Amino acid sequence: MDSASFIAAADRHCQTQGARLTSLRRQVLELVLDYDGVVKAYQVLADLQRLRGIAAPPTVYRALDFLVATGLLHKVDALNGYIVCRHVGCSHEGLILVCSQCGKVQELDATPMLALLREQAGGEGFAIGPQNLMLTGLCQGCQA
């Protein structure tokens, strides 16, 4: 899905959730879409400041938090950054694959795998919270 189609789908998704993809939120999402891998908040802030002149860190963090809450982005805690969730409108937990050589990031739906882990952990009396799991390794291109 190209960026324009993704933004249109994101806008519809927000509307179905009773939320608004404001111009600032849209711009932040567009900036994150410009990155192939994980993007850090300070990179988005720098890009936004370059475009708008003045942008405060809390403004960017609020926009990023909104985009995560609506499922348009995933926060990758281990890398202290964000990736676009290409599964617009699909409520799921992500399995984030990061190439340790080139930095390429791919996201898969981890819901079925986590269901099995939740079942096993539940058998031990442990309740697993919402997850986005990250695995590092080599992408197909770097393996060649």
pLDDT of residue 88: 81
Indicate the SS3 state at residue 107: strand
Amino acid in the structure at residue 23: S
Domains of the chain, each with CATH number or no CATH: 3-84 (1.10.10.10), 94-143 (3.30.1490.190)
User: Could you tell me which residues are beta bridge partners of residue 83?
Assistant: 74
pLDDT in tens, the chain (144 residues): 788 999 999 999 999 999 999 999 999 999 999 988 889 999 999 999 999 888 899 999 999 999 999 989 988 888 889 988 887 877 778 888 989 998 888 888 888 999 999 999 999 999 998 888 889 999 999 999
Distance, C-alpha 132 to centroid of its chain: 9
pLDDT of residue 55: 87
Nearest C-alpha neighbor of 9 from the set 86, 105, 91: 86
pLDDT of residue 107: 87
